[in-house]
């Protein structure tokens, strides 16, 4: 990470486990010390001070042993369909063996120029302890590599993010990080577009998927100007109301529009009853069409799909209108239910 002191750039290597950086505001611009927090999905935030004069980094949060010490971090790059390299951050238990037999949970977002969430979550410690592999795919549409990274994954380039996600999963499996039968995909909000597209196009790559307040009906949403966010969302998705080309492009990847009779992985969706960003009506419409496609496929099951179990399609409707859990207790309950679903679908037994 590069800091500037008296006009000269100074480099200082941060701890290897650091994934997120948050600078504390300081009321005095003449200060010679800056304070910031470092964290990762498996490491609670740690406060540091950096002296611009002494070029010295000081850890201020007292901890006996960093959580991340027991976890190995791997940084990979997957080559997407157009040969663009896509970063992946992987965490797994230190000294873990037979990684191809371990469960893998993949996180993705890829929209609005926003990074995939790499903040610390306590449940990740449980997963790592239980032998899970956690992977964070920094696909186009997000903001990990700047404005261009976002622009290359929005409006008429949304397929780039979808191809990126597929490339990331294929690389993980190729390198021996789990296998499809032990792989789950997780995302929330607009991340549901990429996850939902992969769910339609490459269902064989995963065993289960967990979505939180997912955006799944892009086309119908963007065709309804009366919805509260449709107009301001045009910068991300385009305007199908006036552009027929844009309309057809959205239709080509929209999760709802591309549901078809085939074998699907199991799915768990959590949504709030009165969420203004993700209306319940659109999610219900998606669930109805998906279940209809699953039933149609079961009735005309091909020889290749014999022996495959019917997927569980579960919708968990929470009271209230929050886009995320309204309280810490609600959040904890939702995480517990989602993890129980994943353990069940992947045939795992929780160690503790």
- Write down the residue that tokens 């486990």 correspond to: 17
Whether 302 is a known active-site residue: answer no
Question: Residue 233, SS3?
Answer: coil
Instruction: Return the bridge partners of 36, or none.
Output: 23, 48
Whether 189 is a known active-site residue: answer yes
* CB-CB contact of 134 with 107 (8 Å): yes
- Write down the residue that tokens 């490459």 correspond to: 202
Q: Compute the residue count for the chain.
A: 352
What is the C-alpha radius of gyration for the chain, rounded to an integer number of angstroms? 21
Burial 80-110, CB ≥16 within 10 A → b, else e: beeebebbbbbbbbeeeeebeebbbbbbbbb
The C-alpha angle with vertex 78 and arms to 85 and 191, in degrees rounded to 5, equals 90
Question: Residue 241, SS3?
Answer: coil
Q: Alpha-carbon dihedral of residues 247, 251, 254, 260, nearest 10 degrees?
A: 160
Please state, in angstroms and rounded to a whole number, the distance separating the CA atoms of residues 36 and 326: 28
Nearest to 166 by CA among 88, 73, 246, 248: 88
Whether 96 is a known active-site residue: answer no
Candidate list 66, 159, 263, 323, residue with the active-site label: 323
* CB-CB contact of 20 with 39 (8 Å): yes
Please state, in angstroms and rounded to a whole number, the distance separating the CA atoms of residues 30 and 191: 41
Candidate list 80, 178, 187, 189, residue with the active-site label: 189
Catalytic positions are 189, 275, 323
């Amino acid at each position: 990470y590069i800091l500037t002191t008296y006009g000269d750039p100074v480099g200082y290597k941060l701890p290897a486990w650091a994934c997120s950086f948050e600078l504390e505001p300081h009321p005095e611009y003449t200060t010679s010390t800056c304070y910031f927090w470092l964290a990762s999905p498996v490491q609670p935030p740690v406060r540091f001070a950096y002296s611009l004069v002494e070029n010295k980094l000081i850890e201020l949060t007292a901890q006996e042993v960093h959580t991340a010490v027991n976890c190995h971090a791997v940084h990979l790059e997957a080559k997407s369909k157009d040969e663009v390299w896509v970063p992946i951050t992987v965490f797994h238990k230190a000294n873990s063996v037979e990684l191809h037999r371990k469960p893998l949970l993949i996180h993705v977002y890829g929209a609005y120029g926003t990074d995939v969430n790499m903040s610390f979550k306590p449940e990740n410690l449980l997963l790592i302890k239980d032998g899970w592999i956690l992977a964070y795919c920094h696909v186009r549409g997000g903001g990990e590599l700047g404005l261009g990274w976002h622009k290359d994954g929005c409006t008429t380039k949304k397929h780039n993010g979808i191809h990126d996600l597929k490339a990331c999963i294929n690389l993980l499996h190729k390198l021996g990080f789990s296998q499809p039968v032990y792989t789950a995909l997780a995302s929330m909000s607009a991340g549901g577009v990429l996850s939902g597209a992969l769910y339609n196009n490459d269902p064989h790559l995963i065993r289960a998927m967990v979505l939180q307040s997912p955006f799944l009906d892009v086309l119908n949403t963007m065709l309804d100007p009366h919805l509260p966010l449709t107009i301001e969302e045009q910068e991300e998705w385009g305007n199908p109301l006036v552009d027929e080309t844009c309309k057809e492009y959205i239709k080509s990847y929209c999760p709802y529009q591309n549901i078809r009779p085939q074998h699907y992985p199991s799915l768990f969706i959590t949504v709030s009853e009165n969420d203004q960003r993700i209306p319940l009506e659109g999610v219900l419409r998606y669930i109805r069409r998906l279940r209809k496609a699953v039933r149609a496929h079961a009735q005309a099951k091909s020889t290749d799909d014999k022996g495959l179990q019917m997927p569980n399609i579960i919708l968990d409707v929470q009271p209230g209108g929050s886009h995320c859990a309204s309280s810490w207790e609600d959040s904890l309950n939702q995480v517990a239910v989602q993890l129980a679903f994943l353990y069940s679908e992947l045939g795992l037994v929780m160690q503790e």
